[in-house]
Amino acid sequence: MELEKQMRGPVTVIALNGELDSTTAPKVQQGLDELVPVHGMVLLDLSRTTYMSSAGLRVLLLVYRLCQQMGTRVMVSGISDEVRAVMAATGFLAFFTVADSVDEGVEVLAA
């Protein structure tokens, strides 16, 4: 799994590319902890996240809590049907505002 950060105006977009599982979760968690801005806006782009295990869900939950603690608004975008089904079945989808695309997410956050 690779993380890619880009700035889209005031929004930090972090793309999670690959599989988010027990093998990749610790490195992804560390990377996200470093990339999430304090009192900013962050969009997690999951459009290239091909698999998410329970360890991946835990990473998303920890990022959500980190954003709450830091006063950072967070959204997710580009969720595949498979990842969306896992997040919906486990209740994790309810934690996030979801956009279909990065453009839509950036527009909502920056509004």
Mean pLDDT for the stretch of residues 14-37: 95
Report the pLDDT averaged over residues 13-32: 96
Whether residue 50 contacts residue 19, with contact meaning beta carbons closer than 8 Å, is answered with yes
Q: Are 67 and 33 in contact (CB under 8 A)?
A: no
Could you give the number of structural domains in the chain? 1
Which conformational region is residue 71 in: left (phi greater than 0), alpha (psi within -120 to 50 degrees), or beta? left
Range of the domain at 75: 2-110
CATH number at residue 8: 3.30.750.24
pTM exceeds cut of 0.75:
yes
pLDDT of residue 2: 95
- How much is the mean pLDDT over the chain? 94
Residue 104: the pLDDT is 97
Mean pLDDT, to the nearest integer, of 56-68?
Answer: 95
- Residue 70 is predicted with a pLDDT of 93
Average pLDDT, integer, range 16-37: 95
Task: Note the pLDDT of residue 4.
Answer: 96
Query: Residue 48 — very low, low, confident or very high, per pLDDT cuts 50/70/90?
Result: very high
